[in-house]
Amino acid sequence: MTQTTKLFTPFTMGALTLPNRFAMAPMTRSRANNEGNVPTDSTVKYYEQRASAGLIITEGSQVSQQAVGYIFTPGIYSEEQVAGWKKVTDAVHAAGGRIFIQLWHVGRISHPFFHQGELPVAPSAVQPTGVKAFTLNGQEEIPTPRALETHEVKAVVEDFRKAAENAKKAGFDGAEIHGANGYLIDQFIQDGSNQRTDEYGGSVENRARFALEVVKAVSDVLGADRTGIRLSPTGVMGGINDTDRLGTFSYVVEQLNQFNLAYLHVIEALPGHPMAAQPGQEKVAPTLRKIFNGPFILNGGYTQETAEAALENNEADLIAFGVPFISNPDLVERFQQGAALNAPDQATFYGGDDKGYIDYPSLAEVEQATQDIVEK
């Protein structure tokens, strides 16, 4: 049976008109297993296979060498990386899709392995908790980072600007700024990781300054209608914390309203999901939805049913699906037809070869395989 519910209706978002309300959530797959961390031909295939999503948001892509925190993640700061991504955007566009790149700086979630023995950088020298670094030597302790000097903070803003210029050259339809999950922008926003006394720390106005300068820099290059930002107000990755999440994130989003961004993307998973609000933590997304003056994407543990309900209740304009898109390149068609989903293989989420990357079958391939068996 073909479904015609809200998930399958078009939506105008900034400069783009999307054919449906599905976003493919940004997901690190660690397949840029080469010296320059350049997207490979397999990456071209992977995104091309998922082009029926209303909007693809790529895996986090580092804006500089300083921004790296994991092995084999792609970057968007060298010419080779731009050329690699151009093949991806060309393939997605030829397949009728739209694609934003996620611009990423990990800040303190890194290791000297990636920085010629130097410490990773962060707003303040506050060690993350509960996470390990993955280097070529395996799992390693993450050390206490070094606080960025004020002039270095401004240099990171410029790295985001250059990355946005590169994203444009690479043919992306826009960029999502990774302000979520305990990485650099989130580290500046939340007071547990930001103990600075300069213009980037202290009051919420100062803690939001870095995020807003990055938004300004990226949207100056790409246009605000091709710039989105992702926030995770209730996330706890790396021990990220704030004494007033509701107040802090409400302020950040009030300030974002001045830009007329393409969208705000909020991760606030449904109860039971590892990314859900922790017991005793207040949900923040409903308040941010009310404050924000533009398109709103929600993510975190959604199924077809809960996504439809969230859209019907006007909790969001789009729903981003992560893991379901890993194992179902044609997730849109599968939901539309009420078809069964392929099960995800967690062992191949990060790193490895094409297995668990570009070999999940589409419905058409499943049907062909079934037909072949019947005919034998």
Ligand X SMILES: Cc1cc2nc3c(=O)[nH]c(=O)nc-3n(C[C@H](O)[C@H](O)[C@H](O)COP(=O)(O)O)c2cc1C
**Least Å from the CB of residue 87 to ligand X:** 20
CB of 58 to ligand X, least distance (A): 8
DSSP string, 59-118: EEEESSGGG--BTT--BSSSHHHHHHHHHHHHHHHHTT--EEEEEE--TTS--GGGGTTP
The answer to whether the beta carbons of residues 147 and 196 sit under 8 Å apart is yes
Give me the helices (H) in 198-303, please: 204-222, 245-256, 285-291
Q: Which is nearer to ligand X, 99 or 147 (CB)?
A: 99
Q: How far is the CB of 320 from ligand X (least distance, A)?
A: 7
Residue number, 147 or 256, with CB nearest to ligand X: 256
Of 204, 226, 211, 210, the residue nearest 179 (C-alpha): 211
Closer residue to ligand X (CB): 95 or 323: 323
Name the residue nearer to ligand X (CB basis): 193 or 196.
193
Q: Which of 70, 183, 200, 360 is catalytic?
A: 183
- Residue nearest ligand X, CB atom distance: 322
Those residues with Cβ within 8 angstroms of residue 373's Cβ, 6 or more apart along the chain or in another chain = none
Nearer Cβ to ligand X (305/375): 305
Q: What angle do CA 37, 230, 338 make, to 5 degrees?
A: 90
Spatial CA neighbour of 14 closest among 255, 253, 215, 228? 228
Determine contact, residues 72/353, Cβ cutoff 8 Å.
no
For this structure, is 183 an active site residue?
yes
> What does the binding site for ligand X look like in residue numbers (CB under 6 A)?
25-28, 59-60, 102, 178, 180-181, 230, 267, 275, 299-302, 321-324, 349
Whole-Å CA distances, 360 to 45, 100, 236, 354: 12, 23, 31, 10
CA–CA separation, 281 and 283 (whole Å): 6
Residues labelled as active-site residues:
183
